Amino acid sequence: MKVKLKMKRLDLSVFCALLIVALGVSPALAQMGQGGNIDGMGRGMGQGMSPGMGPGMGQGMMNGYGFDRYDSRFAGFGSITFEEVCNNFGVPVETALSDLNLPEDMDTNLTVLEVEEQYGVSGQEIASYMVTNMQQTPTSLNARQRLLMRQQAIQNMRGMGQGMYFMHHGRFAYGNYTTFSFDADIGEVSNFAVNGDQIFDSVTISDFVFKEEQVAGATAIYYGENSRILLHDNPMGVMQIMAFANKTVDFNLSEGTEANVDAELSHELGNAIIVNITKNNFEGSLIVFKNYLATVTDDEPLEGLDVEVSGDQVTVTLVNNSVVMFRATPMNPSLMQTGYSYGSHAAYMHQVLNREIARGRVGAEIALRAGGNNSSVVNYTSIGVHIRDRDRDRIVLGVDSNLSEGRVITVNVDNETINLSNPDRIRLRIDGQVIERAENIDELFAGGTRPLCYLVQENETATMAVYIPEFSEREIIIDLEPEAGEESGEETGEEGATEEEGEAKPTPAFEFGFGVALLASSYRLKRRK
């Protein structure tokens, strides 16, 4: 009887020990998996070696890093010559060599694997380049598949970096939201995409004599003769083209993109023009209006602004101190946006914002996202907006201007920046005073002497608009109203949240060590008995 009892105790001990070890190891394995394949596409070279493959020829390279599931031209990718790859995707060999920083005299009969081994340009980079620059698309590849491929290729090029910023690579700039390439010789922006969805094949400015460029953080600026191009990596995918002389700007629409002049709204504005840009579920606008950032502006309307839509081309005529801007209605999550549709409140809010940007009543927009220190600020008038302090569920902004009249600024955040699970808890204050909430966005543009705010939550993001009636140096705080029983002090509440979060998510190494220690302790106790 004692022997059976001891055996049962031993079986129970072994079971508990195995359970503890499994609990400790599983999270560690899960975290290891996060650094490996994404959507089934391997990031590493030489992983998953298959029989018969040469050294370094991993399964990832042979299947085009997962792109072959959509496009059969990627099958056996590593064994195809560089010249054949370029021909398959309709990319000129000379262009590909230049873009990938390969020697002009490189032997193009080298396979993709041999190019990687001899020149250090990875097969994954070549595959991603072909995805984003292909000129020949098979009929079997639908719009959804093309979008998924482009999104994955862009993330491959950006690597593991997070936040809003441009990764500058030759003539290409890869942002978390906005991607494009720029040809300084002809002053052309090409392959312009928002969230991986290509909207414009090219954007060309007449008589653009390139002078210099500045690509830093979430902003890219290209200076030309009497013109300037600004591109922003933010959820709105903003592109601004400013003219300081008469200019013509041609927007060549990508496949599936449509453009229509909003005649009613343009007539209402008088001296501005709005063009609706749509593609599947995507919505955006081209806005042609006075440049309120120009050093010399007055109340006189601009004459000579014009827009013509013909087929897949939009031609914009600009005059001195005018601007044409592309602005998308923010859409999140940044991936898989073709399965998403805009809510009526969000769509109307951004329609109003586009209208008021054209009128010069929106001073600036700022977008913040978790996972990176960068934010994106777009200025429409001479208003300065900067982050004074930032923490989880708390943002402090500094706003200053010399403008004599009030303006609206907007703040776009995600659920990781501010907890949006209960929008009623979100509190906006200006100089310590709670800002009154408006019933609709139009109230903010009716003027008045008191600050107002308006908020629309949409699919784990929120756009907040704040009307500031007068300027000096103002401070706007966005945080959460304390719930019943919570400490009202901001520092105490934040410290408590940090400690609680730290206790709720112990590291896998700690869990595993704890399991081993408990097992050893159990064993020593058994020996003493």
Q: How remote is the C-alpha of 201 from its chain's centroid?
A: 19
Under the banding of pLDDT at 50, 70 and 90, the label for residue 367 is very high
Under the banding of pLDDT at 50, 70 and 90, the label for residue 331 is low
Q: Is residue 259 part of a domain?
A: yes
Q: Report pLDDT for 498.
A: 38
Under the banding of pLDDT at 50, 70 and 90, the label for residue 359 is very high
Please tell me whether residues 363 and 430 are part of one structural domain.
yes
Q: Is residue 59 part of a domain?
A: no
Q: Report pLDDT for 458.
A: 82
Q: Is residue 500 part of a domain?
A: no
The average pLDDT across 446-473 equals: 92
Write down which residue in 460, 482, 504 finishes a domain: 482
CA dihedral 314→334→340→152, nearest 10 degrees, is 90
Residue 320 has pLDDT above 50, yes or no: yes
Write down which residue in 314, 341, 368 finishes a domain: 341
Phi first, then psi: give them for residue 403, nearest 5 degrees: -65, 145
Q: Is residue 520 part of a domain?
A: no
Burial 398-415 (b: 16+ CB within 10 A, else e): ebebebeebbbbbbbbbe
On whether the CB atoms of residues 250 and 207 are closer than 8 A, the answer is: no
Q: Rounded to an integer, what distance in angstroms lies between the CA atom of residue 252 and that of residue 255?
A: 10
State both tokens at 99.
């873009």
Please tell me whether residues 348 and 463 are part of one structural domain.
yes
Under the banding of pLDDT at 50, 70 and 90, the label for residue 408 is very high
Residue 351 has pLDDT above 60, yes or no: yes
Cβ burial, residue 506 (10 Å; 0-12/13-18/19+): exposed
Residue 17 has pLDDT above 80, yes or no: no
Adjacent-strand bridge partners of 214: 221
User: Peptide bond preceding 333: is omega within 30 degrees of 0, i.e. cis?
Assistant: yes
Please tell me whether residues 284 and 409 are part of one structural domain.
no
Q: Rounded to an integer, what distance in angstroms lies between the CA atom of residue 306 and that of residue 300?
A: 17
Please tell me whether residues 336 and 448 are part of one structural domain.
no
Write down which residue in 341, 371, 390 finishes a domain: 341
Tell which wins on pLDDT, 333 or 222: 222
Please tell me whether residues 241 and 378 are part of one structural domain.
no
Please tell me whether residues 180 and 284 are part of one structural domain.
yes
Please tell me whether residues 262 and 382 are part of one structural domain.
no
Digit-coded pLDDT (tens) for 472-486: 899 999 999 988 766
Under the banding of pLDDT at 50, 70 and 90, the label for residue 528 is very low
Q: Is residue 404 part of a domain?
A: yes
Q: Report pLDDT for 338.
A: 55
Q: Report pLDDT for 14.
A: 46
Q: Rounded to an integer, what distance in angstroms lies between the CA atom of residue 196 and that of residue 372?
A: 20
- 3-class DSSP assignment, residue 375: strand
Q: Report pLDDT for 494.
A: 41
The owner of tokens 């659920």 is 415
CATH classification of the domain holding 433: 2.60.40
Q: Is residue 466 part of a domain?
A: yes
**Rounded to whole angstroms, what are the CA distances from 469 to 68, 241, 370, 395, 427?**
56, 29, 30, 21, 19
Q: Rounded to an integer, what distance in angstroms lies between the CA atom of residue 236 and that of residue 238?
A: 5
Digit-coded pLDDT (tens) for 18-31: 444 444 434 333 33
Please tell me whether residues 108 and 197 are part of one structural domain.
no
Is the Cα torsion angle 249, 254, 255, 257 positive or negative in sign?
A: negative
Q: Is residue 151 part of a domain?
A: no
Q: Rounded to an integer, what distance in angstroms lies between the CA atom of residue 444 and that of residue 228?
A: 31
The owner of tokens 């599947």 is 280
On whether the CB atoms of residues 408 and 402 are closer than 8 A, the answer is: no
Residue 525 has pLDDT above 70, yes or no: no
State both tokens at 520.
């050893």
Digit-coded pLDDT (tens) for 55-106: 456 778 888 899 999 999 999 999 999 999 999 999 999 999 999 999 999 9
Tell which wins on pLDDT, 331 or 11: 331
Tell which wins on pLDDT, 361 or 55: 361
Tell which wins on pLDDT, 49 or 517: 517
Digit-coded pLDDT (tens) for 183-222: 998 889 999 999 888 999 999 999 999 999 999 999 999 9
Residue 286 has pLDDT above 90, yes or no: yes
On whether the CB atoms of residues 284 and 210 are closer than 8 A, the answer is: no
Please tell me whether residues 92 and 241 are part of one structural domain.
no
State both tokens at 19.
């359970």
Q: Rounded to an integer, what distance in angstroms lies between the CA atom of residue 231 and that of residue 367?
A: 14
Tell which wins on pLDDT, 391 or 170: 391
Under the banding of pLDDT at 50, 70 and 90, the label for residue 371 is low
Q: Rounded to an integer, what distance in angstroms lies between the CA atom of residue 391 and that of residue 527?
A: 51
Under the banding of pLDDT at 50, 70 and 90, the label for residue 509 is very low
Q: Would you list the DSSP string of 452-487?
A: EEEEEEETTEEEEEEEESS-SEEEEEEEEPPPTTS-
Q: Which domain holds residue 409?
A: 344-482
Considering 47-61, 260-274, 338-352, 477-491, the range whose residues carry the highest mean pLDDT is 260-274
Mean pLDDT of the chain: 81
Residue 300 has pLDDT above 60, yes or no: yes
Please tell me whether residues 251 and 263 are part of one structural domain.
yes
Please tell me whether residues 213 and 336 are part of one structural domain.
yes
Q: Is residue 98 part of a domain?
A: yes
Q: Report pLDDT for 416.
A: 87
Phi first, then psi: give them for residue 372, nearest 5 degrees: -165, 155
Please state the domain count of the chain.
3
In 171-272 the beta strands, taken as DSSP E runs, fall at 172-174, 178-183, 188-194, 197-205, 212-216, 219-224, 227-232, 239-243, 247-253, 258-261
Nearest to 368 by CA among 325, 432, 417: 417
Under the banding of pLDDT at 50, 70 and 90, the label for residue 340 is low
Question: Order of strands across the sheet with 461-468?
Answer: 375-379, 362-368, 407-414, 461-468, 452-458, 436-437
Q: Rounded to an integer, what distance in angstroms lies between the CA atom of residue 25 and that of residue 516?
A: 11
Under the banding of pLDDT at 50, 70 and 90, the label for residue 503 is very low
On whether the CB atoms of residues 43 and 156 are closer than 8 A, the answer is: yes
Residue 302 has pLDDT above 90, yes or no: no
Under the banding of pLDDT at 50, 70 and 90, the label for residue 259 is very high
**What does R_g of the chain's alpha carbons equal in angstroms?**
28
Please tell me whether residues 290 and 422 are part of one structural domain.
no
Pairing of strands 452-458, 375-379: unpaired
